[in-house]
């Protein structure tokens, strides 16, 4: 950094030579992407500096943290002139302790955000979504006692839903404590003794009503340590596979899914709050879905929590997308860091049933070693969920489709993106192909579909018409009905979304038009075909 650079945090008063003035510079709303807040920033990829003054008085003996829910892509944080740290990755939370840096009175926070894409990044240079830059999610201060409850996990045992188990983790000097765990509705009131690392675990016999999509039951949970108290709402469920079946709470379950980007309805900016999220999730429910794949990166926490209350299951994914730098250990570490941040934030959300480690990555030994290592890491942190990736199908001989990916042996489900009738032949190719699979695991189509501009009717032989898209889905569903191992379908995608790759004037206008809703929320004809399929597959057909 230049000695009189932005990190010095100056206003220009005429007496010291410098080339910026924080005091009179334009402002941006936080949380929010910068692209949709200013025409000048719409295509911008690079560095922006933020500054924010705040008044604070820290209660003596307490600790203070600053938490960023997400900022895309690299974030450098300074408080009162001191560097707090650098975070890489645009979709997961991070925090710094500022107990010793905060001043009683006026504080100045300076943040440098750079959304330039990087070859060794996660994601890397090429993505089919808008690279929204900036502090896209909330930033806040968290004051805690000197020893506080940093983390806890509460769930039912994956093999026995009559056993509520978990752990608590304290942070601070007084590690040896008795922590009380209370779930009043279940009459659970247990004491957990923490060890010299502040860790304690528990296992309690109980009979919780299990969370499911028709009855998304959540229980109030209260954890109380000597000086701290945390409240949450937690649901209980089991998820497993048995051969080609997915079992939710021990019963065979069909995932009637939809893919969604974290992009707002109507004005297509980064979504970052419960009200915006709820519109998207309700659109999914209106289409008969019980499951949402949050593509292609962890969405804001409210997205997951709102879905949990609405009875929607979730697939949550890290942005390992397309051509990652597989040989690079730094890139591996970055992927693992984002995986850990994703799981650490959401491991108590029972509606998340799948952690996905990648999307559409071309098969080669370096990539398979990288992803196998990552899958093992995910399992070692969390044994209460399925591990998946969106793979790709192969045509091994004309009209014979299968999976040849060695990851089929590593992952819990056979999930893959297939675009027969769009990138792969005409729509009636669906009628002719046969499918076989290398192992007996549940088959989940993690993407399929095509593009249509809302209101563009014409010939069903013409791409981007609503007629073509609707017939494409009809052919797809007839084909998918012939796959006995089919355990879920996730059409691509809920709504039209911004993408720099989609350039046909008058049709795409920088939007990927594969939405079943337009970006303005209008239902395309294919919406009704997808809805009918979902209702049939979930036994809810009218
Ligand atoms: C895919 C990608 C997704 C794209 C989609 C498309 O396979 O996973 O990110 O947006 O295809 O529309 O081409």
pLDDT range class, residue 7, cuts 50, 70, 90: confident
* Closest Cα to atom 9 of ligand 1: 128
**3-state secondary structure at position 158:** coil
Q: What is the mean pLDDT of residues 105-126?
A: 97
Q: Which ligand 1 atom is nearest residue 390's CA?
A: 8
Ligand 1 centroid from CA 493, angstroms = 9
Q: What is the mean pLDDT of residues 189-209?
A: 97
Residue 2: pLDDT over 60: no
pLDDT for 143 equals 98
Ligand 1 centroid from CA 55, angstroms = 45
Ligand 1 centroid from CA 128, angstroms = 6
* Closest Cα to atom 13 of ligand 1: 128
Pocket test for ligand 1, best of 360, 361, 503 (most atoms within 8 A of CB): 360
- For the chain, what is the largest distance between any 2 Cα atoms, rounded to a whole number of angstroms? 78
Query: Does any ligand 1 atom lie closer than 6 A to the CB of residue 417?
Result: yes
What are the tokens at 487? Answer: 């355990």
Ligand 1 centroid from CA 418, angstroms = 10
The Cβ-side half-sphere exposure at 239, using a 13 Å CA radius, reads 28
* 518 φ/ψ angles, rounded to the nearest 5 degrees: -70, 170
| Lookup result for tokens 């999914």 | 284
Residue 1: pLDDT over 50: no
pLDDT for 542 equals 74
pLDDT for 5 equals 82
| Lookup result for tokens 């334009």 | 26
Q: Which residues pair with 181 in a beta bridge?
A: 190, 223
Query: Does any ligand 1 atom lie closer than 6 A to the CB of residue 128?
Result: yes
Average pLDDT over the chain, rounded to whole? 97
Q: What is the mean pLDDT of residues 33-39?
A: 98
Query: Does any ligand 1 atom lie closer than 6 A to the CB of residue 356?
Result: no
Q: What is the mean pLDDT of residues 224-235?
A: 98
| Lookup result for tokens 């926070």 | 109
Q: Which residues pair with 430 in a beta bridge?
A: none
Q: What is the mean pLDDT of residues 344-353?
A: 98
CA distances from 523 to 180, 292, 475 (A): 50, 18, 20
Convert the pLDDT of each residue in 396-443 to its tens digit. Answer: 999 999 999 999 999 999 999 999 999 999 999 999 999 999 999 999
Q: What is the mean pLDDT of residues 310-321?
A: 98
Q: Which of 328, 324, 302 is nearest to 314 (CA)?
A: 302
Q: What is the mean pLDDT of residues 281-289?
A: 98
* Separation CA 108–CA 119 (nearest Å): 33
Query: Does any ligand 1 atom lie closer than 6 A to the CB of residue 405?
Result: no
CA-only gyration radius of the chain, Å = 24
Convert the pLDDT of each residue in 450-466 to its tens digit. Answer: 999 999 999 999 999 99
Query: Does any ligand 1 atom lie closer than 6 A to the CB of residue 447?
Result: yes
Percent of all residues in the chain with a pLDDT value above 90, rounded to a whole number:
97
Q: Which ligand 1 atom is nearest residue 423's CA?
A: 13
- Listing DSSP states for 276-345 in one string gives HHHHHHHHHHHTT-SEEEE-SS---HHHHHHHHHHT-EEEEE---BSS--TT-HHHHHHHHHHHHHHHHH
Ligand 1 centroid from CA 7, angstroms = 39
Strand order in the sheet with 394-397: 394-397, 400-402, 434-435
pLDDT range class, residue 4, cuts 50, 70, 90: low
Query: Does any ligand 1 atom lie closer than 6 A to the CB of residue 418?
Result: no
Ligand 1 centroid from CA 499, angstroms = 10
Cβ atoms of 472 and 423 closer than 8 Å: no
The Cβ-side half-sphere exposure at 17, using a 13 Å CA radius, reads 1
* 90 φ/ψ angles, rounded to the nearest 5 degrees: -95, 0
* Separation CA 45–CA 117 (nearest Å): 8
Query: Does any ligand 1 atom lie closer than 6 A to the CB of residue 360?
Result: yes
Pocket test for ligand 1, best of 127, 128, 512 (most atoms within 8 A of CB): 128
Query: How many Cβ atoms are within 10 Å of 420's Cβ, its own excluded?
Result: 24
Query: How many Cβ atoms are within 10 Å of 259's Cβ, its own excluded?
Result: 27
Cβ atoms of 309 and 216 closer than 8 Å: yes
Query: Does any ligand 1 atom lie closer than 6 A to the CB of residue 202?
Result: no
**3-state secondary structure at position 85:** strand
* Separation CA 510–CA 182 (nearest Å): 51
Ligand 1 centroid from CA 34, angstroms = 24
Query: Does any ligand 1 atom lie closer than 6 A to the CB of residue 33?
Result: no
Please state whether beta strands 188-193 and 178-183 pair in parallel, antiparallel, or not at all (unpaired).
Answer: antiparallel
Q: Which ligand 1 atom is nearest residue 360's CA?
A: 8
* Closest Cα to atom 10 of ligand 1: 128
Ligand 1 centroid from CA 512, angstroms = 9
pLDDT for 8 equals 84
Residue 247: pLDDT over 50: yes
* Closest Cα to atom 7 of ligand 1: 417
Ligand 1 centroid from CA 127, angstroms = 9
Cβ atoms of 514 and 450 closer than 8 Å: yes
* Closest Cα to atom 4 of ligand 1: 128
What are the tokens at 415? Answer: 């999930």
The verdict on pTM exceeding 0.95 is yes
Q: 140-153: string of b/e by CB count within 10 Å (b at 16+)?
A: ebeebbebbbeebe
Q: Which ligand 1 atom is nearest residue 499's CA?
A: 10
Pocket test for ligand 1, best of 317, 417, 498 (most atoms within 8 A of CB): 417
Residue 200: pLDDT over 50: yes
Cβ atoms of 343 and 379 closer than 8 Å: no
Percent of all residues in the chain with a pLDDT value above 70, rounded to a whole number:
99
**Contacts with 50 (C-beta within 8 Å, 6 or more apart), sequence order:** 28, 30, 109, 110, 111, 112, 113, 135
Q: Which ligand 1 atom is nearest residue 296's CA?
A: 9
Q: Which helix (H) or strand (E) holds 236?
A: none
Cβ atoms of 147 and 171 closer than 8 Å: yes
* Closest Cα to atom 3 of ligand 1: 128
pLDDT for 396 equals 98
Ligand 1 centroid from CA 368, angstroms = 21
Convert the pLDDT of each residue in 154-169 to its tens digit. Answer: 999 999 999 999 999 9
Query: Does any ligand 1 atom lie closer than 6 A to the CB of residue 95?
Result: no
* Separation CA 152–CA 340 (nearest Å): 15
Angle, helix 525-537 to helix 466-480, in steps of 10 degrees: 20
Query: Does any ligand 1 atom lie closer than 6 A to the CB of residue 127?
Result: no
């Amino acid at each position: 950094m230049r000695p009189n650079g932005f990190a010095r945090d100056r206003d220009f008063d005429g007496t010291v030579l410098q080339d910026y003035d924080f005091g009179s510079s334009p402002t941006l709303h936080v949380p929010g992407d910068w692209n949709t807040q200013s025409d000048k920033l719409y295509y911008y990829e690079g560095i922006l500096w933020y500054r924010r003054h705040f008044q604070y008085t820290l209660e003596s003996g307490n600790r203070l943290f600053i938490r960023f829910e997400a900022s895309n892509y690299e974030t450098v944080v300074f408080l009162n002139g001191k560097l707090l740290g650098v975070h890489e990755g645009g979709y997961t939370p991070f925090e710094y302790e500022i107990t010793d840096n905060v001043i009683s009175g006026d504080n100045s926070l300076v943040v440098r955000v750079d959304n330039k894409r990087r070859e060794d990044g996660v994601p890397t240079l090429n993505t089919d979504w808008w690279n929204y830059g900036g502090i896209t999610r909330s930033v806040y201060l968290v004051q805690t006692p000197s020893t506080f409850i940093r983390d806890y996990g509460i769930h039912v045992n994956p093999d026995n839903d009559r056993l509520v188990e978990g752990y608590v983790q304290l942070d601070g000097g007084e590690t040896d404590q008795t922590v009380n765990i209370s779930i009043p509705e279940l009459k659970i009131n247990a004491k957990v003794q923490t060890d010299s690392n502040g860790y304690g675990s528990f296992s309690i016999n109980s009979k919780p009503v299990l969370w499911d999509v028709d009855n998304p039951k959540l229980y109030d949970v209260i954890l109380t340590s000597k000086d701290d108290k945390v409240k949450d709402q937690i649901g209980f469920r089991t998820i497993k596979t048995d051969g080609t079946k997915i079992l939710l709470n021990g019963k065979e379950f069909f995932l009637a899914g939809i893919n969604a980007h974290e992009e707002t309805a109507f004005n297509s900016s980064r979504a970052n709050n419960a009200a915006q999220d709820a519109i998207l999730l309700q659109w999914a429910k209106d289409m008969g879905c019980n499951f949402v794949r949050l593509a292609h990166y962890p969405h804001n926490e409210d997205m997951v929590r709102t879905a949990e209350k609405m009875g929607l299951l979730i697939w949550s994914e890290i942005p390992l997308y397309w051509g990652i730098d597989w040989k690079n250990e730094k890139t591996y570490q970055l992927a693992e860091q984002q995986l850990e941040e994703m799981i650490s934030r959401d491991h108590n959300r029972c509606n998340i049933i799948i952690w996905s480690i990648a999307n559409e990555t071309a098969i080669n030994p370096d990539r398979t070693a990288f992803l196998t290592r990552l899958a093992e890491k995910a399992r070692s942190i969390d044994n209460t969920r399925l591990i998946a990736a969106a793979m790709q199908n192969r045509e091994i001989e004309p009209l014979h489709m299968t999976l040849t990916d060695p990851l089929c042996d590593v992952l819990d489900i056979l999930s893959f993106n297939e675009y027969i009738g769009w990138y792969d032949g005409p729509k009636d190719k669906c009628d002719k192909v046969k499918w076989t699979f290398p192992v007996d695991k549940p088959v989940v189509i993690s993407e399929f579909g095509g593009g249509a501009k809302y209101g563009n009717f014409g010939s069903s032989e013409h791409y981007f018409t609503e007629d073509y898209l609707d017939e494409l889905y009809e052919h797809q569903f007839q084909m998918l009905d012939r796959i006995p191992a089919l355990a879920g379908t996730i059409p691509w995608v809920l709504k039209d979304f911004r993408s720099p790759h989609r350039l046909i004037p008058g049709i795409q206008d920088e939007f990927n038009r594969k939405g079943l809703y337009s970006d303005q929320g209008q239902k395309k004809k294919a919406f009704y075909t997808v809805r009918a399929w979902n209702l049939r597959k979930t036994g809810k057909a009218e």
